[in-house]
Structure formats: structure tokens, C-alpha cells
Amino acid sequence: MKKEYCGLFGIDCHPEAARMTYFGLYAQQHRGQESAGICTWDGDGIREQRGMGLVADVFNERHLGKELKGQVAVGHIRYSTTGVSLLRNAQPFMVRHGEHRFAVAHNGNLVNTYELRRELEQQGSIFQTTMDTEVLVHLIAKYLNGNTLEDAIAKACGRLKGAYSLLILANNKLIAIKDPNGFRPLALGRVGNSYVFASETCAFDLIEAEYLRPVEPGEMIIVDNGKLTTRNITKPQPRSSCIFELIYFARPDSTVFGEVVYERRKEMGAILAREAPVDADMVMPFPDSGNYAAVGYAQESGLPLELAMIRNHYVGRTFIQPSQDMRDFGVRVKLNPVSSMIKGKRILIVEDSIVRGTTIRTRVKKLRELGAREIHMRVSCPAIRFPCFYGIDFSSKGELIAANNTVEEIARFIGLDSLHYLSIDGLLQSVHKRDGYCLACFDGNYPVAPSTNGGKLCLEDVARPGIIGEYCNNK
């Protein structure tokens, strides 16, 4: 399963700030299912509620109606990797320093966490979590001496390398920041007299907010008692927005980086049909991620679209596990084919991506058992050959099937008659602006190079072991 690490929401000057933040997080639940948190400013201090689990499990009416008082709020939902799925790592991260109270919500991943953390510890800082977000908080505290709050935050962000979209509740101010490369999405909207921020615009739709624009790379937006000001805080860098937001992570009804996600996925499928036509009886997706590219492929190719794989929408995060001899149960419980649609058919499957290939292999095997005559697959993104250091849970290079095998070898492993990945050029044709996207997981050209610090990128106790830790071990 591919994971993208966080979703953010913030709102200013609203009498139901906590409740609106709850709905904003709920709309973005797909971005994080490990933990959720909301912090509000009540005029004297910051109130918080954080917990492990889904948004609906963490918050109740008592929290939203009585405990989370205040008209300014920030919220966060999070994914985590093995070893760090802990309540103390849930966000927003809250701290006090002198007269300042902070609650920080971060989406992305820093690549110089180790160096900064070691420097700060040598200067006397004591860390309570394994989050790179805490490094930012210590930097802000360091630069507050003799600087305004906004200048201290700007100086702190100037030390960061990597991906960060931030929402900071600083006393009564709501501050939004995006890194100079613009890796992760963050949007500005308005509902009534209140400004709102969210990782995805689908959150605005739920609360009937107007989408205004994206937060720009290197921009800081300060909202203070309903008044909005903006400034550039970092040196300009080449724009490197994560194109996987458009391929997979964002909800199809969102606008991300100025692109309507649904339309871009359909266009990826249409270009895929032109690049690699197939003589087949039908096009079918593996729901839900392949649905929209499959629509585009079917419309462009003229082949009928059939939803012959049915998803169980009631599978939660946990369920009673079967005995060990019931192999692949976790795959079968989520998706099940319509047997009568499969037998004797030449099937073209459209999928959004292949990471390890093991899950898809199980599904293809089931289609063979049901009597499919031919099974072809078309993938609406290029082959993933390199790990991501900016906030996506792609495995180390050693576990990415396309990093170690040819397309023909992958097709044989999965059990396909043919396989084709969308070309990088085809992917760029599917978006309105070809320049400005990070393609590192496809071509290995990292916009911000991971720091090595004497041969070590990180330590397992201060960085995400699922990505950077594995890079240390396998480098």
C-alpha cells in the first residue's frame, strides 16, 4: 500500500472553528488514518485533543462543543511507519516558549533532520518525539531571541531542507507556509469572513468554502484576527510539486497544484490508450485508484468499461485476522471479481501504479482461476524505480519491483500477457504545465539531495525508518 503522510486544515475567526476543522479533516481522511488532532486558541492558551485512529474515533461532541473552545484552529491527520505509530508523535505538535504558545501541523518530510537535531542537542535542546516537526519548533525558539515571531519562523524555515507544508497556530495567529520547492499541496480558501487552509480543496467543498488559490512555494501567509498578509521567506527554487498527488494520493474531486485531479487522471488513461493499445474485450480497473484512468482509456480506445472487480467499502483499518493457512485473505476481503464477467474474456486492467507487485499478482492469479483468456495491464504512471525522501512511503530501492526487473520480467512475475507503463513524456502531457513536478521516484533526479553527513543520512531514532532509515542501511 502506498501512503502519503499527512493532511492539514486550519481556520481563523470562526465561532465553530473546532467543528469546521473536524469536517475538514474528515474530508481528507484518505491522507492519514493513524492519528488525528485539533488545537484551538481560546484567548488565553491553546487547547488540544489528539488521539490514535480515524477522525470520527478521536473526536466526539464533548470535544467539539465544549472543550475545544476558540475561533482559531489547526488540525492534522497522519500516517506513520513501523515503530513510530505513537500518540506522542501525533500532531499538531504543541509547545510553549516564553509568552508564545505554538501548535504546529506538518505535511512532508525533511531530509536534513539528523544534522539539525544533532546541532540543536549540542546546544542544549531536549527532544520529546521522533518527528522532524519538533526540529522546526526548536529552531523557532532559537531564533525568537531578538526577532519577531514571523521573522523567527522565516529564519527557522530557511534552515530546513526537503518537503514541508505547515500550519502554525501561534497564540491567536494562523500561519501557513510552503517549502520553496512546493512539494506538498496546501490551498487557501474562504468561508464567510473566515480564511481557511487545507491540503486538498475537497475539504473546502464539505464546509462550503470558496477556493481562492494555492499557497505558493516559499510563501508565508499570516492571518491575524481576520486580516491576511503574505511574504516570501525563502530563496526561489525550481518548482518540484509531487506529481503522485495527481496520480494517486489526492481525492479525484480535489484541485491540487491548480489541476483538477479527476481530469488529469482521465487524461493519463487516454494517453496510455494511445501509447499502448490492446485488442481486448473490455477495460476494467482495480478500484478505486484505477477507476479514473480506466475511464480515460476506455473512452479513448472505444473499448467497453466494465466494473468487474467489486470493492468492499466496509473494510476498516482492523478486522479479525484469519488463520495462517488462509493466505491472501487481506487482498480478497477488499476486492472480489464478478465471475461471470471474467470467464473466456480478454481483459485489460488499468492500474495507477505498481510498487512491489505482490498484491496485483494475487488479484491476477484469481482472474486466471476464473477463466480469463488473456490479461493485459496498463499502468497510468511510469515505473517507480527510486525511493521518495519527501513524504511518501515508497520502499527502499531494493523493494521496488521496477528497480530490479525489466518490464517483461515484471509481467511474468505478475502473470500478465502484456504490461505497459505510461511514459514520463506521456505523464507530462497529461498536465497543463510540463515543468514544475518532482519525478524523482521515476528518474532518480532528486530536487533536494538527501544529506549524507559522513555517510549517514539519519539515525533510526530520529527519522522515519521506513524510508530514510532503509536508505542508510542500503546505501
Q: Could you read off the pLDDT of 46-83 as tens digits, one per residue?
A: 999 999 999 999 999 999 999 999 999 999 998 754 33
pLDDT digits (tens, 9 = 90+) for 255-273: 999 999 999 999 999 999 9
Per-residue pLDDT band at 312 (split at 50, 70, 90) = confident
pLDDT at residue number 121: 87
- Cα(208)–Cα(202) distance, rounded to whole angstroms? 10
* pLDDT of 327 above 90: no
- Cα(174)–Cα(224) distance, rounded to whole angstroms? 7
For 99-102, the CB contacts below 8 A with 24+ separation are 99/171, 100/144, 100/149, 100/170, 100/171, 101/41, 101/45, 101/46, 101/169, 101/170, 101/171, 102/46, 102/137, 102/140, 102/168, 102/169, 102/170
pLDDT at residue number 85: 59
For residue 8, report the phi and psi dihedrals to the nearest 5 degrees.
-120, 150
Inter-helix orientation angle 261-275/291-301, to 10°: 50
pLDDT at residue number 323: 55
* pLDDT of 452 above 80: no
- By C-alpha distance, which of 63, 1, 57 is closest to 26? 57
pLDDT digits (tens, 9 = 90+) for 202-258: 999 999 999 999 999 999 999 999 999 999 998 889 999 999 999 999 999 999 999
Q: Is 458 annotated as a binding residue?
A: no
| DSSP-assigned beta bridge partners for residue 152 | none
- Please report the sign of the dihedral spanned by the C-alpha atoms of residue 59, residue 65, residue 67, residue 69: positive
- Please report the sign of the dihedral spanned by the C-alpha atoms of residue 262, residue 178, residue 124, residue 472: positive
pLDDT at residue number 211: 97
**C-beta of residue 359 within 8 angstroms of C-beta of residue 416:** no
6 is catalytic: yes
Mean pLDDT of the 346-365 span: 92
Per-residue pLDDT band at 455 (split at 50, 70, 90) = very low
Nine cell digits for residue 98: 516564553
Residue 437 amino acid letter: Y
Name the least confident of 72-76, 87-91, 185-189, 362-366: 87-91
Q: Is 438 annotated as a binding residue?
A: yes
| DSSP-assigned beta bridge partners for residue 40 | 47, 73
pLDDT at residue number 316: 55
CB-based contacts of 170: which residues, under 8 Å, 6+ apart? 100, 101, 102, 149, 153
Mean pLDDT of the 412-432 span: 97
pLDDT digits (tens, 9 = 90+) for 95-142: 888 888 999 999 999 999 889 988 888 888 788 777 788 899 899 989
Per-residue pLDDT band at 333 (split at 50, 70, 90) = confident
pLDDT at residue number 145: 86
CB-based contacts of 414: which residues, under 8 Å, 6+ apart? 354, 357, 360, 361, 364, 377
Q: Give 3-state DSSP helix, strand, coil % of the chain, rounded to 5.
A: 30, 25, 45
How many Cα atoms within 13 Å fall on the side-chain side of residue 36?
24
- By C-alpha distance, which of 78, 77, 79, 59 is closest to 18? 59
- Please report the sign of the dihedral spanned by the C-alpha atoms of residue 62, residue 65, residue 67, residue 72: positive
420 burial type by CB count under 10 A (0-12 exposed, 13-18 middle, 19+ buried): middle
Work out the percent of the chain whose per-residue pLDDT is above 90: 66
* pLDDT of 1 above 60: no
User: What is the full DSSP assignment across 78-123?
Assistant: E---TT---GGG-SSEEEEETTEEEEEEEES-BS-HHHHHHHHHHT
Nine cell digits for residue 194: 473566515
Nine cell digits for residue 230: 503574505
Domain boundaries, the chain: 6-240, 260-314+327-435
Q: What distance lies between CA 293 and its chain's CA centroid?
A: 19
pLDDT at residue number 274: 98
pLDDT at residue number 268: 98
Average pLDDT of the chain, as a whole number: 87
* pLDDT of 317 above 80: no
CB-based contacts of 282: which residues, under 8 Å, 6+ apart? 303, 304, 305, 306, 308, 341, 345, 346, 347, 348
**C-beta of residue 431 within 8 angstroms of C-beta of residue 259:** yes
- Cα(8)–Cα(48) distance, rounded to whole angstroms? 15
pLDDT at residue number 450: 78
Please provide the size of the chain in residues: 475
3-state secondary structure of 138: helix
Q: 6, 202, 458, 472: which one is catalytic?
A: 6
* pLDDT of 319 above 50: no
In the sheet with 165-170, reading across from the earlier edge strand, the strands are 93-97, 100-107, 165-170, 173-178, 219-224, 227-232
The third-level CATH classification (topology) of the domain covering 6-240 is: Glutamine Phosphoribosylpyrophosphate, subunit 1, domain 1 (3.60.20)
Whether domain 260-314+327-435 has CATH 3.30.70.60: the reply is no
pLDDT at residue number 349: 96
* pLDDT of 471 above 90: no
Per-residue pLDDT band at 394 (split at 50, 70, 90) = low
- By C-alpha distance, which of 170, 113, 108 is closest to 140? 170
pLDDT digits (tens, 9 = 90+) for 137-190: 899 989 998 899 999 999 999 999 999 999 999 999 999 999 999 999 999 999
Q: Is 441 annotated as a binding residue?
A: yes
186: left (phi over 0), alpha (psi -120 to 50) or beta: beta
Per-residue pLDDT band at 465 (split at 50, 70, 90) = very low
pLDDT at residue number 459: 31
Cα 290 to Cα 94, 124, 287, 373: the distances in Å are 38, 50, 6, 21
162: left (phi over 0), alpha (psi -120 to 50) or beta: left
Nine cell digits for residue 421: 507503463
* pLDDT of 456 above 60: no
Per-residue pLDDT band at 358 (split at 50, 70, 90) = confident
- By C-alpha distance, which of 273, 297, 270, 268 is closest to 285? 297
